[in-house]
């Protein structure tokens, strides 16, 4: 990436982050109360904290032009949260593309003056790469959720499986029932 765009992004970094953050939080229609946006304590508002931290890392990675994989841990943090909040996949992942819009709005003037268009295209295709990568993470998270259901069952029954002959009323086919009563 050429220096001009990089400089501009660095310069406007905090504005871009704030707007990007707001656009993510706007996807929480239920947050009428604005709690997620406003509470700053990282333990009292882990979602807000994860997002502010995460997008900062992701944007930092994009600006410095490092490999997509380098931003993996930041992306991972955000997507893990999005994956358990009843969003459809497109809504869960839309936050990445929101960055394009925010950047374009912030750099409106420069774009009009035709200063940075080529670099911007490059930057945006980086965002696309990031999005593809993010989809992998998202799919992994969702897989993990369904795996955990099975694993939990296994954890609950492992010692039983070892000693299956001791248990009278749990015939084999019951392990396939989803609603097995193994709990505390």
Partner 1 sequence: MAPKVKLPKPGELSIIDYSLPATDWMDTPVEFKPNTFCWGAKGKDLETLGLPNARDWNPSEEDWKLPENWEQTVLDGIAERLSKYRSFKIFMDICVRCGACADKCHFYISTGDPKNMPVLRAELLRSVYKRYFTKSGKLFGRLAGGRELTVDVLKEWWSYFFQCTECRRCSVYCPYGIDQAEITIIGRELLNLLGLNINWISGPAAACYKKGNHLGIEPHALTGIIDSMCDDIEDITGIRVNPTFNRKGAEILFVTPSGDFMGEPGIYTCMGYLMLFHELGLDYTWSTYASEGGNFGFFTSNDTAKRLNYKIYAEAKRLGVKYIIGGECGHMWRVLNQYMDTWNGPADFLEVPKSPITGTVFENAKSTKMIHISEFVADLIKHNKLKLDPSRNDHLKVTFHDSCNPSRGMGMFDEPRHIIKAVCNNFYEMPENTIREQTFCCGSGSGLNASENMEQRMRGGFPRANAVRYVQQKHGVNMLANICAVDRAALPALMNYWNPGVEVAGVTELLANALVMKGEKERTLDIRLNDLPGKGGNE
Partner 2 sequence: MKALYSFLAVIVLILIATLGVNVANMSSVFGIIVPYLAFVVFVGGFVYRVIKWGKSPVPFRIPTTCGQQKSLPWIKQSKIENPTSALGVIVRMALEILFFRSLFRNTKTELKEGPYGPQLAYGSAKWLWFGSLVFHWSFLIIVIRHLRLFIEPVPFFVQMLDGLDGMLQIGLPPIYLTDLFFVVAVTFLFLRRILIPRVKYISLPADYFPLFMIFSIAVSGILMRYFYKVDIIAIKEFAIGLAQFHPVIPQGIGVIFYVHIFLVSVLFAYFPLSKLMHMGGIFLSPTRNMISNNRMVRHINPWNPVLEVHTYEHYEDEFREKMKKVGLPVEKE
Residues that bind partner 2 (CB under 8 A): 14, 17, 32-35, 40-42, 44, 52-53, 56, 168
Beta strands of the chain (E only): which ranges?
none
Distance CA 40, CA 53 (A): 12
* Residue 176 binds which of partner 1, partner 2, none (CB < 5-8 A, kind-dependent): none
Looking at beta carbons only, is 108 or 155 nearer to partner 1?
155
CB of 51 to partner 2, least distance (A): 9
| Under rule CB under 8 A, residue 22 binds partner 1 | no
* Residue 85 binds which of partner 2, partner 1, none (CB < 5-8 A, kind-dependent): partner 1
| Under rule CB under 8 A, residue 1 binds partner 1 | no
Provide the token pair at 147: 């795996």
Please work out the total of residues on this chain that contact partner 1, with binding judged by CB under 8 A: 62
| Under rule CB under 8 A, residue 183 binds partner 1 | yes
* Residue 181 binds which of partner 1, partner 2, none (CB < 5-8 A, kind-dependent): partner 1
Distance CA 145, CA 81 (A): 12
Q: What is the DSSP letter of 180?
A: -
- Identify which of 143, 150, 152, 97 has the alpha carbon closest to the alpha carbon of residue 124: 97
| Under rule CB under 8 A, residue 108 binds partner 1 | no
* Residue 111 binds which of partner 2, partner 1, none (CB < 5-8 A, kind-dependent): none
State which of residues 158, 172, 176, 177 lies at the interface with partner 1 (CB under 8 A): 158
Distance CA 115, CA 118 (A): 8
CB of 54 to partner 2, least distance (A): 10
Burial (0-12, 13-18, 19+ Cβ within 10 Å), 138? buried
- What's the Cα-to-Cα distance from 101 to each of 57, 84, 126, 157, rounded to whole Å? 18, 25, 14, 50
Distance CA 59, CA 55 (A): 6
Looking at beta carbons only, is 63 or 131 nearer to partner 1?
131
Helix (H, G, I), strand (E, B) or coil at 21: helix
* Residue 56 binds which of partner 1, partner 2, none (CB < 5-8 A, kind-dependent): partner 2
């Amino acid at each position: 990436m050429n220096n001009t765009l990089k400089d501009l992004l660095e310069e406007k970094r905090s504005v871009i982050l704030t707007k990007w953050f707001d656009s993510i939080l706007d996807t929480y229609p239920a947050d009428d109360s604005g709690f997620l946006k406003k509470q700053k304590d990282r333990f009292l508002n882990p979602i807000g904290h994860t997002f502010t931290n995460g997008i900062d890392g992701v944007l930092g990675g994009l600006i410095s032009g490092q490999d997509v994989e380098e931003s993996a841990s930041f992306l991972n943090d955000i997507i893990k949260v999005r994956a358990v909040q009843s969003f459809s996949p497109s809504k869960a992942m839309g936050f990445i593309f929101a960055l394009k819009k925010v950047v374009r709005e912030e750099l409106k003037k420069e774009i009009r003056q035709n200063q940075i268009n080529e670099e911007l295209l490059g930057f945006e295709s980086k965002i696309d790469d990031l999005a593809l990568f993010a989809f992998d993470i998202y799919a992994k998270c969702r897989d993990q959720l369904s795996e955990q259901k099975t694993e939990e069952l296994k954890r609950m029954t492992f010692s039983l499986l070892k000693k299956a002959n001791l248990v009278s009323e749990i015939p084999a086919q019951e392990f396939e029932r989803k609603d097995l009563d193994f709990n505390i």
